[in-house]
Amino acid sequence: MPELPEVEAVRAGLARHLTGRRVERVEVLDARPLRRQVGGAQAFAEELTGRTVTAAVRRGKRMWLPLDDGRALSAHLGMSGQLLVRGTAPAEADDVPAAGDAHGADGGASRADAERHLADADAPAVDLTATRAPSLVRDLSQRPRHLRVRLRLSTLAGDPGDAVLLDLVDQRMLGGLHLTDLVPTDDGAPGGEGSPEPLLPADATGLARDLLDTDLDRAAVLARIRSSRRAVKTILMDQGVVSGVGNIYADEGLWAARLHGLRPGAEVGPRVAARLLAETASVMERALAVGGTSFDALYVDADGAPGYFARSLAVYGRAGQPCRRCGALLRREVIAARSHTSCPRCQTRPRLRRR
């Protein structure tokens, strides 16, 4: 499931392409992604038509588009949801980071690596999404497979054509859209990245601030971690404690902090807990700088471009491979029904107490 860096990459694209545009028509090809909409597909179309998008905002993995009537279009990408924009002027694509730059000196693949692999007919079939240059959605079919909802928006000066579209494409049907009221934040600070307004969706009031939010109360987060007997990985992924962290960045942050995910929060010292938050934030910032982590064509931004961080992952998805720090073979286990990959040497597994 997309985590904070991937959702932020989408949000930034939506802000760039959609702010100031009016929704002129709503097409609902499949009503299932609107299952949370009061009144169903008809109410969704009627209430959204004519509204103007004023911003694109994100808190953790949650994203919403504030509208000129004081409400918002809330979006959840689920496992395979994509919000794709067509018909606007394309952003300038950055060069793919070279090995040793954004990928680090830990064996990250460069564009040259990808081109050599693709030219080799006998090379093993592996996913190279994370090393390919962006493939803009403007080159794709106007009626993509798994298209569920389409919004037709007003054009602005500089648009290359006479139609601007926002498509919800979702293969597994776990994402969705719905209109929601905006309510004041409890602390009076901005609701999330992308807007200074102290507002957030009414159904997101229980969502904590994320590690890249300058208004996050880190002392309160540390106190909650250290007052719990739950596994520290479980706490880190609790969206009511700190939002935006899923399985990928939890594993990466724990590895960077040299902390095993099974260790109870109450047994983590204050400096180690602070280091965990700092390292997890750092890895998400590095991932965001290259568009997030894309494992396949389902994980793309609003322009249809993948992120490049997959080749920089230290532990996630690398069970059985050498630790990039000490060389020990990484191990995979299950914590609270979620996989956890760690280094047996760098991340000492705690001895669990018998009940």
Active centre residues (catalytic): 2-3, 61, 338
Question: How many Å apart are CA 95 and CA 73, to the nearest integer?
Answer: 33
Question: How many Å apart are CA 162 and CA 166, to the nearest integer?
Answer: 14
Structural contact between residues 336 and 229, judged by C-beta atoms closer than 8 angstroms: no
Nearest CA to 93 out of 305, 294, 286, 293 is that of 305
Question: How many Å apart are CA 261 and CA 347, to the nearest integer?
Answer: 9
- 66, β-bridge pairs: 72
Nearest CA to 253 out of 268, 223, 271, 233 is that of 233
- In this structure, the chain runs to a length of 355
Cβ contacts of 204 within 8 Å, gap of 6 or more: 59, 62, 64, 74
